[in-house]
């Protein structure tokens, strides 16, 4: 069983998780006042085509361009978030997600260390009727490997030079550094996560905090 699971791709694991969660949701007794609608064919299509994913390099481009038409949500705990998070992210642990005041028309991009918690959060928000929900492909692990500390090939071909230049620029922009010298040497090089300032609270987060203070 374990060997079979390890042979699956990340996308196949997410599909299996989504199917499992769907079966649980169908068999479980819904909470009073809640409605969960599950379309298995639509869910399978979304997982297979990855239309619900955002790549880390695409997200990096959004941040550099100063786009503000999305919400980037870090699902990890507060300590991990304070240690490092992707710039512009807001911290919403998985347990707090069901009651978080997202806008129905907002584009919400979810990430955790890998992809499993993001898949759980994606399914939860989909079940609650949010349709603009996306998963950061590969999560924070992929962000580190591709954006912060990308490995640049030695003796790149002319076609690779432009890509290497962009990766170098992005890496330095976000406080990382590109790794060179081959896979073994790059693996042995110590890396230190860059410092990131805590982002200002979003209007939705400020509203939620105000309600808690007022006892609503």
65-97: pLDDT as tens digits: 999 999 999 999 999 999 999 999 999 998 899
Same domain, 56 and 128: yes
pTM confidence score? 0.70
Residue pair 152/168 in contact by the 8 Å Cβ criterion: yes
Same domain, 25 and 61: yes
Same domain, 39 and 135: yes
Tokens at residue 18, please? 């989504």
pLDDT at position 153 is: 76
Same domain, 103 and 198: yes
Same domain, 139 and 77: yes
Residue pair 52/46 in contact by the 8 Å Cβ criterion: yes
Cα 63–chain centre separation: 14
pLDDT digits (tens, 9 = 90+) for 155-179: 888 888 888 999 999 999 999 999 9
Same domain, 76 and 138: yes
More confident residue, 113 or 26: 113
Same domain, 128 and 165: no
Dist. CA 186–CA 54, nearest whole Å: 27
Looking at the structure of the chain, the number of domains it has is: 2
Quick check: 143 pLDDT over 60? yes
Residues near 80 by beta carbon (within 8 Å), at least 6 away in sequence: 113
pLDDT at position 191 is: 59
Same domain, 78 and 181: no
Residues written for the chain: 216
Domain that includes residue 17, residue range: 2-143+194-214
Model confidence band, residue 192 (pLDDT cutoffs 50, 70, 90): confident
Same domain, 68 and 155: no
Dist. CA 124–CA 75, nearest whole Å: 13
Tokens at residue 92, please? 């919403």
Quick check: 58 pLDDT over 50? yes
């Amino acid at each position: 069983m374990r060997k079979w699971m390890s042979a699956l791709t990340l996308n196949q694991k997410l599909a299996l998780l989504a199917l499992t969660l769907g079966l649980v949701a169908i068999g479980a007794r819904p909470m009073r006042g809640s409605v969960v609608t599950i379309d298995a064919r639509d869910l399978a299509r979304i997982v297979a085509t990855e239309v619900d994913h955002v790549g880390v390099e695409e997200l990096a481009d959004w941040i550099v361009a100063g786009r503000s038409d999305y919400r980037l949500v870090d699902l990890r705990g507060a300590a991990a978030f304070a240690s490092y998070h992707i710039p512009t992210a807001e911290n919403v642990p998985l347990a707090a997600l069901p009651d978080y005041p997202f806008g129905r028309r907002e584009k919400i991009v979810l990430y955790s260390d890998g992809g499993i918690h993001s898949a759980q959060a994606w399914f939860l928000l989909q079940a609650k009727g949010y349709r603009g929900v996306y998963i950061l492909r590969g999560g924070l692990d992929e962000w580190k490997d591709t954006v912060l500390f990308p490995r640049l090939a030695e003796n790149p071909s002319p076609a690779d030079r432009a890509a290497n230049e962009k990766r170098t620029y992005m890496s330095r922009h976000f406080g990382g550094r590109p790794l060179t010298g081959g896979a073994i040497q790059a693996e042995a090089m110590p890396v230190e996560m860059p410092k990131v300032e805590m982002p200002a609270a979003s209007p939705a987060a400020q509203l939620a905090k105000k309600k808690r203070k007022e006892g609503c």
